[in-house]
Amino acid sequence: RLHVPTPLAPDAAVLPTLDQSRYLTQVMRLKIGDGLLVFNGVDGEWRCVIAEALKKGVVLRAAEQVRPQTLGPDVQLLISVVKKSALEFAVEKATELGVRRIRLVVTHRTQVQHVRMDRLDAIAIEAAEQTGRMDVPMIDEPVKLGEVLDDWEAGRRLMFCDETGGAPAGPALQAAGGDPWAVLIGPEGGFSPEERERLRALPFATAVSLGPRILRADTAAVSALTLWQAAVGD
């Protein structure tokens, strides 16, 4: 599986990047005539392609369209913009755990101002290739938490991870079965009392505890998504 940066016209040559060519020839030992699956996040299309030339890198000729398998259950990660290493870790692990969309939120106590979206996209693509996903999660630019809640998608449930306490996550997840979910993780300083009050009053939200200890935001994201995966994922 390989994510290529250009849309895949039916019989166009697909030119992987230099790094990808090196990976294909040196790591995967690709030979002329070998086939492999490539996908392009832009059009979400998959193609089985055949390696044609291995001289100056790899030329791949798109051979046939491959319909991606149906995507699994729908979960989003809403995470406060935390410091770079924690956010990059959370994006990589959320991609491995099947998140469909990652929404960066700005909360009252969010301290980080600037995010390198291109870096996060690259991490998600690499994690999607490594984990063998048929898609790459979309990552949204940071938006105020209040605005996200004001414009909430009907039918999606919210797993509000509250470090001050909440219900055990498993039963809440099982009770809602295959509904689309979103997991919300706060910043290093936690949610403000006003945010907590609003979140606990939302009809579509369930405040859940991830255990008696305070987890770092990236650990909390992995923990919550693993609980979701165990309860309703596939």
Minimum CB–partner distance for residue 67 and ligand SAM (Å): 38
Stretch that binds ligand SAM, among 57-65, 97-105, 125-133, 158-166 (CB under 6 A): 158-166
Sequence-separated (6 or more) residues with CB below 8 Å from residue 165: 207, 209
Burial of 141 (0-12, 13-18, 19+ CB in 10 A): exposed
Burial 32-65 (b: 16+ CB within 10 A, else e): eeeebebbbbeeebbbebbbeeeeeebbbebeee
Judged by CB under 6 A, the chain residues 171 through 200 that form the site for ligand SAM are 185-186, 188-191
Stretch that binds ligand SAM, among 23-31, 95-103, 120-128, 212-220 (CB under 6 A): 212-220
Q: With CB under 6 A as the rule, give the number of residues binding ligand SAM.
A: 18
Minimum CB–partner distance for residue 46 and ligand SAM (Å): 35
Write out the two tokens for 130. 């490594």
- Whether 105 and 181 have beta carbons less than 8 Å apart is answered as no
Q: Could you tell me which residues are beta bridge partners of residue 126?
A: none
Nearest CA-CA partner of 51 in 38, 39, 67: 38
Minimum CB–partner distance for residue 217 and ligand SAM (Å): 4
Pairing status of strand 75-80 against strand 101-106: parallel
The answer to whether residue 170 forms part of the interface with ligand SAM (CB under 6 A) is: no
Closest CB to ligand SAM among residues 8, 91: 91
Closest CB to ligand SAM among residues 108, 216: 216
Which residue of 163, 199, 205, 231 would you call a contact of ligand SAM, by CB under 6 A?
163
Q: Footprint of ligand SAM on this chain (CB under 6 A)?
A: 161-163, 185-186, 188-191, 209-211, 213-217, 220
